[in-house]
Amino acid sequence: MKSVIFDLRENLVEYNSLNPKIGNGLKKFNEIEIDYNKRFEFDGGYLFFQEGTTTHIDEGTFEAHKNYIDIQIVLDGSEYVAWAPIDQLEVDVAYNVEKDVVRLNGNPETTMKINKGMAYICLPHDGHKALKYIDKATNYKKAVIKIEI
């Protein structure tokens, strides 16, 4: 697989073959009530919720992870996410083992608008810059499911 996966929320179960722990994360997601101040653990990862206002696509850095697959689900509002393979980006902030994140700079290969009901899956080779807007800031609510590799 060579790029980020964009799909509808209801199709995420189809990606269990990527990692069997995805099913655990989706099960937990469907069992809990949204709480923006809490982290929810499950066998093979954790999930949390975010809400806020998007920032301009030119602001910030890409990020990538070594130990987790990111599944990001837009619950309300919308966002843009920029994507590029990490080998086409330059390290801005070195990999932080405790936070499992490296910060990267460069130009996106793809930019996609993610609306309510859509989701995307980022693998370790996916540099992603989320929570962005192009023309006008938007409010969003989303779930982030972290799946151990």
pLDDT digits (tens, 9 = 90+) for 10-59: 999 999 999 999 999 999 999 999 999 999 999 999 999 999 999 999 99
pLDDT value at residue 2: 55
Six token digits for residue 92: 């801005």
pLDDT digits (tens, 9 = 90+) for 95-148: 999 999 999 999 999 999 999 999 999 999 999 999 999 999 999 999 999 999
Q: Is 100 helix (H, G, I), strand (E, B) or coil?
A: coil
Burial of 111 (0-12, 13-18, 19+ CB in 10 A): middle
Cross-strand partners of 83: 110, 128
Q: What is the DSSP string of 133-148?
A: ESSS--EEEEEEEEEE
CB 85 within 8 A of CB 148: no
Q: What CATH number corresponds to the domain at position 89?
A: 2.60.120.370
Which residue range is the domain that position 18 belongs to?
5-148
Give how many domains the chain has, as a whole number.
1
Model confidence at 1, in pLDDT bands (50, 70, 90)?
A: very low
